[in-house]
Chains A and B, each alone.
Chain A
Amino acid sequence: MSDELDRIRREMHAVLQQPGVRPDDSLQITRRTFIHRSLLFGAASVGQTFAWWPLLNTIDVAHAAEAPFKFAWISDTHLYPRSLNTRFVDKVVRAVQEVQAMDPPADFLIFGGDLAQLGKIEELELGVELLKDLKIKKYYIPGEHDWYLDMGKKWGELFGQPNWTFDHKGVRFIGLDTVSRGPDYWTAKKMTPEERMGHMATLDGTVAGAWAGVGREQLDWMQKTLADWDKSKPIVIFSHNPLYEYYPPWNFWVRDWREVNDVLKPYTKVTNIHGHVHQVLYNEIGSMRSIGMLATSWPWPYAPEGVPKLTKPMIRVDPGDPFDGVGWGTVNVNADDKVDVEYIMWGRKEVFVQSPEDHDKSIEEVIRPRIADNQYPWENP
């Protein structure tokens, strides 16, 4: 582990993992597997040879009030124009069909960001068109891929305010914008919008820097939003990036996780559900728990360091199967104070590693950042 990461990790541990502090017991993650009814879709619509064994790993969000309900999550579709890439389109279509087929239906859908790959109008509009087939209420938060071509202009026109809040059956939901406050790496280097987007769209790029953050004014807004909320009632916060520090070089974090924790500390039932990592992820930070969701587009490997110890890793993916390692998810909110997330990973009976060899880190590796994006013409002044 690098010295800097080690220092941050120790600090996070000291600040957040105070003795005896952990999420409320009612918020334990549970895992269960069963064959999803979307099985029928797969068999009926495409003659693929891989196994149709989607696995659902559910999180039931719990609270003692009102009726139980379920909502769905889709994120990280990374759509290119249809003329360039139809695979990603096919996967969104499938996810939409499956969410639409949920019985009982989901109360609403959260779209967790990165609808587009390069932020183009055509890509964002394609996403809207594909999601139109889903008739339930939809809420959107932005991803960095949606934002940095026109700095959120088109996204705002399509979806409105990037951060929002609403109450539903005794739960307060908050959507955060963790992507729009990146440091200005483009003006001094006179980048075109496409160049700016290109650097932002490269996960392991070294130019865009620590772009993921909540920002002071949004933190203040969140604090105000929660001020009238009972400290023991459930809160679910959606963000594109995880609200803790996992692996900063890939922005698997928000840089102001300390301040986020300060705001959330008084509340005992906080669940953060996030995208961006394209992988199964679970962590507990102080009294908050955090759950990473699958992408529909492609899975990222686990970062070389910093994977939370509480994460049971997802299974190593078959690179020859475009439907492996990806999917969508649902969140069940039960009346008996339990929270369940269901991972729907297409083509898999088992989402989680079954043996050390199932883990993508079963071959140990030491890797380092790229260099070519920091050389002419983009070298740092």
Chain B
Amino acid sequence: MINTSTFLCILRRSTVAGAVVAAAVVVGPASANKDPVTPKQLKLYQEAFMEEVRKGDLLFHGDAAMAEQLGVKLSTTGWACAMCHPMASDTHPHAFPKFQQSMAKFATLRDMINWCIEKPNQGEKIDPESEAMKALEAYITWSNTGSVLVPGKY
């Protein structure tokens, strides 16, 4: 049986949820998810993704101009990510998150990227929310397209 305070709580939550939905409808982009997707939209989405893949590919392969453009210093030794991970092999984005022995902690792919930047590459750790990080993540996951998710696997 529902008592009064539980009822009021549900009512309050419903009101908040309703307000959020109403705001999304009023404020959100007018065309978002309302019309069937068009080939033009798909192309744009794909281009937006592939542009990040391209940037990530360049960063991953030690491209100095791209690192400068995105304001990062991924290495001070001449070493680039791709020198241990050609074609982003052995990066295993599909195995994260997992306990990562080298860090002795439960880690995400972004944690691992930063570990590699700091340790083998002796570069400067990057903001996990930065465009550089997202681009690296985009390239690594794109390159592993087709790999089957095995989160947690050693």
- Residue ranges of A at the interface with B (Cβ–Cβ < 8 Å): 80, 84-85, 87, 117, 202-204, 249-250, 298-301, 303-304, 318-320, 322, 357, 360, 362-373, 375
User: What's the Cα separation between A372 and B65 when bound, in Å?
Assistant: 13
Chain B residues numbered 95-132 whose CB sits less than 8 Å from any CB in chain A: 95, 102, 116, 119-120
- Interface contact B102-A367, CB-CB below 8 Å: no
B143 near A370 with CB under 8 A, answer yes
Residues of A within 8 A of B57 (CB): 370-373
Contact call B87/A368, Cβ cutoff below 8 A = yes
Report how far A203 CA is from B58 CA in the complex, Å. Answer: 14
A319/B84 contact (C-beta < 8 A), A84-B78, A365-B147 known: yes
In the complex, the answer to whether A367 meets B82 with C-beta atoms within 8 Å is no
Write 28 A-B pairs (CB below 8 A) sorted by A numbering: A84-B78, A85-B78, A87-B77, A298-B84, A300-B84, A300-B86, A301-B90, A318-B102, A319-B102, A319-B116, A320-B102, A320-B120, A362-B153, A363-B94, A363-B95, A363-B154, A364-B148, A365-B90, A367-B87, A367-B88, A367-B144, A368-B87, A368-B143, A369-B87, A370-B61, A370-B143, A372-B54, A372-B61
In this assembly, does B12 line the interface, its C-beta being within 8 Å of a C-beta of chain A?
no
Assess the A366–B154 pair: CB atoms within 8 A: no
Contacts of A250 in B (CB 8 A): 86
Partner among A304, A319, A372 whose Cβ is within 8 Å of the Cβ of B89: A304
Question: From A247, which residue of chain B is reached at the shortest CB distance?
Answer: B86
**Cβ of A304: which chain B residues have Cβ within 8 Å of it?**
87, 89
Q: Which residues of the partner chain B approach A371 to less than 8 Å between Cβ atoms?
A: 50, 53-54, 57
* Interface check B146, CB cutoff 8 A: yes
- Is B78's CB under 8 angstroms from A117's CB? yes
Contact indicator A202/B89 (Cβ below 8 Å)? no
| B150 cross-chain contacts in A, Cβ below 8 A | 363-364
B86 touches A357 (CB 8 A): no
| CB < 8 Å neighbour of B145 from A117, A363, A366 | A366
Question: How far in angstroms is the closest Cβ of chain A from B137?
Answer: 15
Q: Could you mark each residue 63-83 of chain B with 1 if its beta carbon is under 8 Å from any beta carbon of chain A, else 0? A: 100000000000001110011
| A319-B119, A364-B148, A368-B143 known; A204-B58 Cβ under 8 A | no
- Complex Cα gap A365–B150 (Å): 10
Contacts of B86 in A (CB 8 A): 203-204, 250, 300-301
For the complex, give the distance between the alpha carbons of A320 and B90 in Å. 15
Q: Is the CB of A320 within 8 A of B119?
A: yes
